[in-house]
Structure 1
């Protein structure tokens, strides 16, 4: 008997037949991680790493406690069992150049003939782990017979268990092409909705601009300049405060991205050499970009996945395009497809509603009073509610 939500909705247009996949990190890999972590040396106390407000990054106190927990009180096996409670797959995806990519993804398939396909796209330093709380909510809310959606959560190329070509500079357009090929190959060429934040936002936008099968897109981050002649006096107080925080972040928090963009090889070797370095580099982002500090166990699971899959050096390629080059037309162009935007106050790029409305066909907007950059992880019930409301609004015949 097959597991729930795994009945593949084959049709005459299905060209990709995914293989079931199970996360099974070798014991030797986990043992090596512990050895390297145990031998890793902490920096000596300094004025900068003693500042409890984290103005200069993670504190010595936090990194010591995190290292101790990772070594002595963290069980990857529990996380792996939880991860494997969801259906995983891998599939070969052939791009327009004839190159084959191996894409890992999670899926909850519906048995409803009119289910709406939705592809949910993570960013950096995220992964498919971000969407597990939403998948959990859906599994508890619906049965395979009542689930109104087919939910597809890919690991973006270079992240986790998805491959990344070594012979080309991969860009957001390439990611979008591979994702679109996946969705079409799964039989969803007639139409699907994209959803994303961070890198996932840019991919969702490119899908909407350049790929006809993407019929609408919902995002929890939006990036655009203010419209000409914009009157800042029209902003509400939460928008004004968020823009001030965003301006401060661009002054004090963006150095990591410039490093990723300009020296990806060097920082890739640095971070890949030491799990403690990865913990500090990635852990800082979860602490600083969230509205409230996530549980340490959650951060350690994210960092462990990055370490055991060697994701870090393979995943930072997107920054070269986003921070050092002129954006591709498909990123900067307007799409007239329906756009939904969930606004969270602690997002690092907190674009006001009016800016999004001026640059896209904004048909759905929700301003929330709490939440940060990792919306799917921080506020899964809120984000899922927004996505469901958006889909019901823009997809003919959609139901909740």
Structure 2
């Protein structure tokens, strides 16, 4: 007898009072390390700031209010590839023309949380001062091992496999053609959607090009491309220790991070600060409540270890896959505070790049840091492809 068709079911998250009391007890019992005087953020997370954040988390942070706000999004779960996948499916409000479906893929260290601010701007542009004709149906899945999606019990899935799941999800939701967008690991997933589903994906938008991979003679590169490749290597040497741990020994780190909420906060908030366009002050980009909402999602779902293991899976992707050129129309919004910013020549070399912009503000988490700017970037890029999808 054939398996039944996957059927999305509404999802409502509920956190028990006992889970929150356990979290607060662990926070209050934190065994703090020492720190050299005036170390600040130079050695990693600033201990003074972390103490302040942890105290707020233990005594003042209102998770039920944040949980209720996230519950206002139309959220579902469906079984795909043997895994329960959690996703937001928000339909266009009062569209004034063809509606384009758009799947948004997040990265690390986040989840569907990354797009929670931008979803209403994309589904209801008319209600936010933009053209109603730019309305999208928006799908935001949690990747396996992240958020409220299942954690793979066997080997972790790489970005190619996740792209395959997203294609299946869009079929289940009734979308034959759609756009794809993302950043960080979500940029890779969006790239593979364009590579492996060219008859379905009308265009791909990304905020980064990932770690540059080039197997040819570097003399063929422009000076800007060589600087980009060398800059990425220098960034990896100075800032990439977290990634090396994720790729090689994620379980070792997961023991401490899954047991200590203060340790989890230290691991994540340092990246929120370093990767955002905040000028060294993380709360210029994120409030304490926003920081702790993302971290609490990791804590309550116990997904820090499974999220890190995806780095190991992606590290095993063959070079031939990494070197493939994306031929579907591709667009890039290169935000000033992102990690390593690719030059136009590199994007033209590796993709069918039809649009590149450099917004005035925003960093690696642009959809959360600058949702209005990010929404306008997506509206402008995908505008020519609405009739393509409808046809």
Mark yes or no: TM-score above 0.5: yes
What pairs up with 1:56-135 in 2 under 5 angstroms? 56-93=43-80, 95=81, 100-110=82-92, 114-135=98-119
Secondary structure of 2:356's counterpart equals strand
Looking at structure 2, the residues matched to 213 and 305 of structure 1 have their Cα atoms a distance apart, in angstroms, of: 32
Aligned to 1:386: 377
Aligned to 2:294: 302
Aligned to 1:9: none
Cα separation, partners in 2 of 1:327 and 1:352, compared to 1, 3 Å? farther
Looking at structure 2, the residues matched to 20 and 279 of structure 1 have their Cα atoms a distance apart, in angstroms, of: 30
Runs (4+) of structure 1 moved beyond 6 Å?
242-245
Aligned to 1:27: 17
8 Å Cα contact 2:156/2:313 also seen in 1: no
Q: 1:364 aligns with which of 340, 349, 355?
A: 355
Q: Which moved more, 1:62-71 or 1:133-142?
A: 133-142
Q: 1:141 aligns with which of 104, 116, 125?
A: 125
Aligned to 1:18: 8
Secondary structure of 1:203's counterpart equals helix
Looking at structure 2, the residues matched to 171 and 328 of structure 1 have their Cα atoms a distance apart, in angstroms, of: 14
Looking at structure 1, the residues matched to 149 and 289 of structure 2 have their Cα atoms a distance apart, in angstroms, of: 24
Instruction: Give the deviation of 1:303 after TM superposition.
Output: 0.6
Aligned to 1:275: 261
Instruction: Give the deviation of 1:220 after TM superposition.
Output: 0.6
Q: 2:155 aligns with which of 168, 176, 181?
A: 168
Q: Which moved more, 1:278-287 or 1:160-169?
A: 160-169
Aligned to 2:251: 265
Cα separation, partners in 2 of 1:344 and 1:243, compared to 1, 3 Å? farther
**Any idea what the Cα deviations from partners look like across 1:361-392, whole Å, max 9, x if unmatched?**
00111112321110111111111111111111
Cα separation, partners in 2 of 1:215 and 1:228, compared to 1, 3 Å? farther
Looking at structure 2, the residues matched to 219 and 231 of structure 1 have their Cα atoms a distance apart, in angstroms, of: 22
What pairs up with 1:330-349 in 2 under 5 angstroms? 330-349=321-340
Secondary structure of 1:194's counterpart equals strand
Instruction: Give the deviation of 1:338 after TM superposition.
Output: 0.5
Q: Which moved more, 1:32-41 or 1:244-253?
A: 244-253
Q: Which moved more, 1:347-356 or 1:223-232?
A: 223-232
Residues matched between the structures, number: 370
Looking at structure 2, the residues matched to 120 and 328 of structure 1 have their Cα atoms a distance apart, in angstroms, of: 25
8 Å Cα contact 1:321/1:327 also seen in 2: no
Q: Which moved more, 1:178-187 or 1:205-214?
A: 205-214
8 Å Cα contact 2:157/2:313 also seen in 1: no
Looking at structure 2, the residues matched to 64 and 117 of structure 1 have their Cα atoms a distance apart, in angstroms, of: 43
Cα separation, partners in 2 of 1:134 and 1:36, compared to 1, 3 Å? same
Secondary structure of 1:361's counterpart equals strand
Instruction: Give the deviation of 1:243 after TM superposition.
Output: 8.1
8 Å Cα contact 2:178/2:389 also seen in 1: no
Aligned to 1:221: 208
Segments of structure 2 that go 5 or more residues without pairing to the other structure are none
8 Å Cα contact 1:120/1:196 also seen in 2: yes
Q: Which moved more, 1:37-46 or 1:103-112?
A: 103-112
Instruction: Give the deviation of 1:279 after TM superposition.
Output: 0.5
Q: Which moved more, 1:133-142 or 1:278-287?
A: 133-142
Instruction: Give the deviation of 1:115 after TM superposition.
Output: 1.4
Secondary structure of 2:306's counterpart equals helix
Aligned to 1:354: 345
8 Å Cα contact 2:112/2:142 also seen in 1: yes
Segments of structure 1 that go 5 or more residues without pairing to the other structure are 1-13
Q: Which moved more, 1:210-219 or 1:196-205?
A: 210-219
Looking at structure 1, the residues matched to 310 and 180 of structure 2 have their Cα atoms a distance apart, in angstroms, of: 19
Aligned to 1:37: 27
Aligned to 2:183: 197
Aligned to 1:6: none
8 Å Cα contact 1:148/1:398 also seen in 2: no
8 Å Cα contact 1:275/1:307 also seen in 2: yes
Q: Which moved more, 1:218-227 or 1:166-175?
A: 218-227
Instruction: Give the deviation of 1:357 after TM superposition.
Output: 1.0
8 Å Cα contact 2:123/2:135 also seen in 1: no
